[in-house]
């Protein structure tokens, strides 16, 4: 429900439904007295009663490092998180982006970890890893099999205490280019990507640390030098400004010994005080605008409010829910339902220093409404709220959503660890979750009205208009505020902060720890099979770690069943099942689901239309009653249809403004031809969707939505008998499946051509290279091909990514992969690259693929592949949705329950000769080449590649 730095959209809380008993370090427990290296036990929170808590023990090292341990032996995994209390909010004016830049630098090796080795070590350990930066914190995390824990502690300690000796100018320059590529890909080159930057500039006074984005300004990145980065690290990356949180299948005392060994000698950094929130006010409405590569304009209205954990944050969250959260909201009723907007929503984003209450909308062109009209509807909706007041359902929805999301958060050890780390960093205690729930439970109707009066009613806001390029007259109102720029202070010559803090050890840190024991034994989910009285096959598994249920009801009908002249019909039909039923309006259904804390959604894919259900088990029968109602009793109202159709058309237009989506779409058409419906966008084309009628939807539903084409996958804490009793809700469903439509012949691939789609002014170019390959086969050549590709383009430290990202700085990320369905498949290599490196990137792609095809894999790469994939199985079946994916493969491809054992045998016995033969065979032959980018800027270098350039439009048609 909340949108904050600590709680995600789903409140991402990972909890145990128990009460807590807290003991402090003043007790005389044996655990406290036996701790190594002067570590002190601060508190121990255990299970007791009915309150909500994640059990943990909290410790502090003499150097100030906070350590939190959570034991969970449900899966043979551990999750390690190091959260530093530093984000872009600690940066100085003119030095934006440093916190995020340093996140990148922390993966470039340290004194005892070689260049580009961090990803390799974690991957080879069977783990996954990443790092993230926001305004207020930077965190680094790994999930690995439990026998790899010591190695992860060693890795994190080495980059905390020994990073700077390994930092070089070359690494600095490459990562500077990588960050620029990331900004280009995620901000400058993305439709609406600069909204938050423009709003931040207008919302905050000059110098406020939230007045720039975490990614920073390009000019600041260009101005930075190596010493700037070193100063930033030495100021903020001390152990006394960090929280180390570890959860999973661990031995607490052994873990503390490792923590003391590797972290204990790292000297504390400078003292760090928590930042102090300051009030942000606006003296008048600030209207701003910018032109963008978008198909629809947008109006965005933002009010300054409070800060995270402020007493008024929770009632403001309830207010935003009433205004713009889903189909029960006023903005949905007054804008989307009435056809004035294709999308309208509200949010209340909260961070450590400040929160923003936001409403936004994109107009429906068919309505004739302008941004000025939408702004007025927003303001009228606020007045309507004032007259309507707060309903009992409003509070019930928010509170039910919080409770449900808390329980869903129990499903992964990563969720629990992340929550403990966040609360420890920002709430001064990891044991905050019950207080979090309590403060929302305590919200009253009067509270919500009070915060509306205090922060929103008659208050000034930033009103941003984003308009298509060349159409400045579409703004909601003329700009009355202009960003004045920034006054950049003169650089300081003081180098006193550059003194290194060097740990003193009595052991050799350069020795990488070995795994502590054999790889953990992974227990595959125990499966059961049954069928409903109507013959619908059911495949289930018991997951008794949480009182939750996840269900996937699949109907074998999809885009490939559409007639070519009605492309988009499958997706629109599925979307109509998310609308009203014969018994209920969509608003009533949405309200019922929200009060259950459940979700039921219908979507169409490349092979199946799927109804996905997520529910607390105690609410399962009520949730399935809604799912049954959606499936069997759709109303197919004309008003709903016209709205869905309009939204689909606008979504297609918007997708054409996205270079990445366009590149992938045109590539797919080249692979499978325009005569196969599945080769087009799932949503279809504008011209085909315009021809679809409500009668077409009804006929498609009547023809294909049959029980004979259905199957159900269920993962729950319920035993089979009780689950089947609940699934009996679908027993009235009937009908025989329709025969599957034949595929049209696939076209020949012409490798002599380069297909170019022009995106004038694009900051990056999107590249797609590939060929048709194998259909999916879990234990055949397809599976072996994925193993073969891992070292080439599948891993982060693959040849392709290391070349284009880490060595050249051309891209934020490059990869290659095999993908396949039951009847077809492909091999693809792709990246979004710097505009001025388009041709060079293409050359490097083909060079890497060609040399791998010719020379094959190295022995080191083979060993890495076998280690990384072989040990990663421990991460594959942790959550209910991971188990759903496992069951889905079994049911879709009629696999034996133990097919993964055969995969492990294949991997174990894989040889260099096997891989080399596959590379020689599967990477040979003609490959298509698609580029989406700024023709004017890249034409000459593309022409120099020697291929015939064929220009296509955004539909993949010749110009």
Residues 6+ apart with CB under 8 A from 78: 143, 144, 145, 146, 148, 149, 152, 246, 247, 248, 249, 250, 413
pLDDT higher than threshold 90 for residue 19: no
- CA distance readout (Å), 802 to 583, 710, 809: 56, 44, 9
Examine the pLDDT at 20 and tell me if it is beyond 70: no
Q: How many residues does the chain have?
A: 959
Average pLDDT over every residue of 888-900: 93
φ, ψ of residue 720 to 5 degrees: the values are -55, -45
Q: What is the mean pLDDT of residues 128-149?
A: 96
Is the whole model's pTM more than 0.85, yes or no? Answer: yes
Q: Which pLDDT score is estimated for 877? A: 85
CA dihedral over 849, 851, 854, 860, signed as positive or negative: negative
Q: Which residues, in sequence order, are bridge partners of residue 138? A: 84, 133
pLDDT of residue 357: 98
Distance (Å, rounded) from C-alpha 145 to C-alpha 527? 23
The per-residue pLDDT for range 643-698, each reduced to its tens digit, is 999 999 999 999 988 999 999 999 999 999 999 999 999 999 999 999 999 999 99
Q: Residue 433's pLDDT is what?
A: 86
Q: What is the pLDDT of residues 62-86, one digit of tens each?
A: 999 999 999 999 889 999 999 999 9
In the chain, count H helices and then E strands.
32, 26
What pLDDT was estimated at residue 33?
A: 59
215 Cβ partners below 8 Å, 6+ apart?
97, 100, 179, 182, 183, 186, 187
pLDDT at position 494: 62
Averaged pLDDT of the chain: 92
Q: How far is CA 615 from CA 10, 245, 600, 621, 626, in A?
A: 13, 29, 9, 9, 12
pLDDT tens column, 166-184 = 999 999 998 999 898 899 8
User: What's the CATH number of domain 286-412+433-474, 3.30.470.10, 3.40.190.10, 3.30.830.10, 3.90.1150.10?
Assistant: 3.30.830.10
pLDDT at 27 over 60: no
**Tokens 């890893």 found at:** 129
Q: Read out DSSP for 282-349?
A: -SS-EEEEEEES-SS-EEEEEEE---TT-TTHHHHHHHHHHHHSSTTSHHIIIIITTTSEEEEEEEEE
Q: What is the pLDDT confidence band of residue 498, given thresholds at 50, 70 and 90?
A: low
Provide the β-strand partners of residue 46.
Answer: 21
> Closest Cα to residue 31, out of 69, 87, 75?
69
- Which superfamily is assigned to 753-952 in CATH? Metalloenzyme, LuxS/M16 peptidase-like (3.30.830.10)
* H or E element, residue 433: helix 433-441
What are the residue boundaries of the structural domains of the chain, listed by start?
A: 85-242+261-271, 286-412+433-474, 527-730, 753-952
Q: SS3 of 412, please?
A: coil
- Please give the pLDDT value at position 849: 97
DSSP character string of 795-854: STTSHHHIIIIIIT--EEEEEEEEEE-SS-EEEEEEEEEEGGGHHHHHHHHHHHHHHHHH
Which tokens sit at 666? Answer: 């045109």
Q: What is the arithmetic mean of pLDDT over 92-111?
A: 91
Q: φ and ψ at 376, to 5 degrees?
A: -65, -35
Judge whether residue 48 has pLDDT over 90: no
**Fold of the domain built from segment(s) 85-242+261-271:** Cytochrome Bc1 Complex; Chain A, domain 1 (3.30.830)
pLDDT for the residue numbered 9: 29
Q: Where are the alpha helices (DSSP H) in 633-693?
A: 638-655, 659-672, 686-691
Question: pLDDT (tens digit, 9 = 90+) per residue, 278-300?
Answer: 899 999 999 999 999 999 999 99
pLDDT, tens digit, for every residue of 190-238? 899 999 999 999 999 999 999 999 999 999 999 988 888 889 999 999 9
CATH number of 527-730, picked from 3.40.50.1820, 3.30.830.10, 3.30.70.20, 3.40.50.2300: 3.30.830.10
Q: Which of left, alpha, beta for 287 (phi over 0: left; psi -120 to 50: alpha)?
A: beta
In angstroms, the CA 655 to CA 662 distance is 7
Query: Which residues lie closer than 8 Å to 512 by C-beta, 6 or more apart?
Result: 112, 121, 151, 154
Q: State residue 320's pLDDT score.
A: 96
The pLDDT value recorded for residue 271 is 93
* Residue % of the chain over a pLDDT of 90: 83
904 band by pLDDT with thresholds 50, 70 and 90: very high
Q: Is the pLDDT of residue 16 over 50?
A: no
CA distances from 466 to 193, 292, 692, 953 (A): 10, 7, 30, 24
Cα dihedral value 324, 328, 330, 332, nearest 10: 70
User: What per-residue confidence (pLDDT) applies to 238?
Assistant: 95
- Asked if pLDDT for residue 5 goes beyond 70, the answer is no
For 317-362, the pLDDT digits (tens) are 999 999 999 999 999 999 999 999 999 999 999 999 999 999 999 9
When pLDDT is cut at 50, 70 and 90, the band that residue 14 belongs to is very low
Is residue 59 within 8 A of residue 243, CB to CB? The reply is no
Q: Inform me whether the pLDDT recorded for 414 exceeds 70.
A: yes
């Amino acid at each position: 429900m909340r949108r904050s730095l600590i709680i995600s959209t789903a409140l991402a809380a990972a909890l145990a439904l128990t009460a807590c008993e807290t003991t402090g370090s003043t007790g005389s427990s044996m655990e406290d007295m036996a701790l190594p290296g002067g570590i002190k036990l601060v508190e121990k929170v255990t299970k007791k009663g009915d309150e909500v808590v994640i059990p943990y023990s909290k410790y502090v090292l003499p150097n100030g490092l906070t350590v939190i341990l959570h034991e969970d032996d449900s899966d043979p995994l551990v999750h390690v998180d190091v959260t530093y209390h530093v984000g872009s909010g600690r940066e100085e004016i003119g030095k934006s982006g440093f916190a995020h830049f340093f996140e990148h630098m922390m993966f470039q090796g340290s004194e005892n970890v070689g260049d580009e080795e961090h990803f390799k070590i974690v991957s080879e350990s069977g783990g996954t890893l990443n790092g993230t930066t926001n305004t207020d914190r930077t965190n680094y995390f790994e999930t690995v099999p439990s026998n790899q824990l010591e190695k992860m502690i060693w890795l994190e300690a080495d980059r905390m205490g020994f990073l700077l000796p390994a930092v070089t100018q070359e690494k600095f320059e490459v990562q500077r280019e990588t960050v620029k590529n990331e900004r280009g890909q995620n901000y400058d080159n993305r439709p609406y990507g600069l909204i938050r930057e423009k709003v931040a500039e207008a919302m905050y006074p000059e110098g406020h640390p939230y007045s720039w984005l975490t990614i920073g300004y390009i000019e600041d990145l260009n101005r930075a030098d190596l010493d700037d980065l070193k100063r930033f690290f030495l100021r903020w990356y001390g152990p006394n400004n960090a929280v180390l949180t570890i959860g999973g299948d661990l031995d607490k005392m052994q873990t503390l010994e490792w923590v003391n060994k590797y972290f204990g000698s790292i000297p504390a950094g400078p003292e760090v005080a928590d930042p102090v929130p300051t009030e942000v006010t606006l003296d008048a409405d600030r209207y701003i605008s910018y032109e963008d590569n978008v198909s629809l304009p947008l109006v965005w209205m933002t009010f300054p409010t409070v800060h995270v954990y402020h007493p008024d944050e929770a009632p403001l969250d309830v207010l935003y829910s009433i205004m713009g959260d889903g189909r029960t909201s006023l903005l949905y009723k007054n804008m989307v339902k009435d056809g004035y907007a294709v999308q309208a929503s509200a949010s209340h984003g909260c961070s450590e220093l400040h929160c923003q209450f936001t409403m936004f909308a994109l107009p429906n062109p068919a309505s004739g409404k302008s941004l000025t009209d939408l702004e007025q509807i927003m303001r009228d909706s606020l007045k309507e709220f004032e007259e309507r007041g707060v309903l009992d359902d409003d509070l019930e929805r928010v509170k039910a959503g919080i409770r449900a999301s808390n329980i869903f958060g129990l499903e992964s050890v990563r969720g629990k660890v992340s929550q403990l780390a966040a609360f420890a960093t920002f709430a001064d205690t990891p044991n905050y979750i019950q207080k979090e729930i309590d403060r929302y439970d305590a919200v009253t109707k009067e509270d919500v009205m009070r915060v509306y009066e205090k922060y929103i009613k008659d208050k000034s806001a930033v009103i941003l208009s984003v308009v298509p390029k060349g159409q400045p007259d579409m703004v909601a109102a003329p700009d009355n505020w202009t960003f004045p720029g920034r006054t950049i202070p003169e650089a300081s010559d003081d180098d006193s902060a550059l003194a290194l803090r060097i740990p003193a050890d009595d052991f050799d840190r350069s020795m990488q720890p070995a795994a502590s024991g054999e790889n953990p034994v992974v227990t595959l989910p125990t499966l059961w099979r049954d069928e409903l009285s109507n013959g619908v096959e059911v495949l289930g598994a018991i997951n008794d770690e949480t009182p939750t249920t996840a269900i996937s009801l699949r109907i074998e009908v999809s885009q490939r069943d559409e007639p070519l002249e009605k492309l988009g019909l499958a997706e629109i039909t599925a979307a109509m099942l998310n609308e009203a039923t014969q018994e209920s309006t969509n608003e009533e259904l949405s309200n019922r689901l929200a009060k259950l804390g459940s979700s039921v959604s219908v979507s169409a894919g490349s092979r199946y239309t799927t109804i996905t259900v997520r529910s607390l088990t105690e609410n399962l029968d009520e949730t399935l009653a809604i799912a049954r109602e959606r499936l069997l009793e759709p109303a197919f109202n004309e008003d709903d249809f016209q709205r869905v159709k309009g939204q689909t058309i606008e979504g297609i237009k918007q997708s054409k403004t996205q270079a990445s989506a366009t590149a992938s779409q045109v590539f797919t058409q080249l692979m499978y031809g325009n005569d196969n419906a599945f080769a087009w966008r799932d949503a279809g084309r504008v011209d085909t969707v315009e021809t679809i009628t409500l009668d077409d939807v009804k006929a498609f539903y009547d023809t294909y939505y049959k029980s004979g084409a259905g199957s159900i996958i269920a993962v729950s804490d319920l035993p089979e008998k009780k689950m089947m009793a609940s699934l009996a809700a679908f027993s009235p469903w009937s009908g025989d499946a329709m025969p599957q439509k034949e595929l049209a012949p696939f076209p020949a691939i012409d490798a002599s051509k380069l297909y170019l789609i022009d995106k004038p002014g694009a900051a990056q170019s999107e590249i797609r290279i590939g060929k048709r390959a194998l259909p999916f086969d879990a234990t055949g050549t397809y599976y072996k091909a994925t193993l073969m590709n891992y070292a080439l383009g599948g891993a982060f430290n693959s040849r392709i990514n290391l070349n284009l990202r880490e060595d050249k700085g051309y891209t934020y990320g490059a990869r290659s992969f095999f993908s396949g369905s039951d009847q077809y498949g492909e091999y693809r290599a792709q990246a979004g690259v710097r505009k001025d490196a388009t041709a060079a990137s293409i050359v490097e792609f083909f060079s890497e693929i060609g040399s791998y095809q010719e020379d094959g894999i190295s022995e080191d790469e083979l060993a890495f592949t076998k280690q990384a994939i072989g040990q990663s199985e421990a991460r594959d079946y942790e959550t209910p949705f991971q188990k759903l994916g496992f069951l889905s493969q079994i049911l879709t491809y009629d696999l034996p329950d133990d097919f993964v054992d055969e995969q492990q045998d294949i991997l174990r016995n894989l040889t260099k000769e096997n891989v080399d033969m596959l590379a020689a065979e599967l990477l040979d032959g003609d490959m298509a080449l698609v580029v989406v980018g700024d023709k004017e800027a890249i034409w000459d270098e593309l022409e120099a590649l020697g291929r015939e350039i064929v220009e296509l439009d955004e539909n993949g048609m010749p110009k």
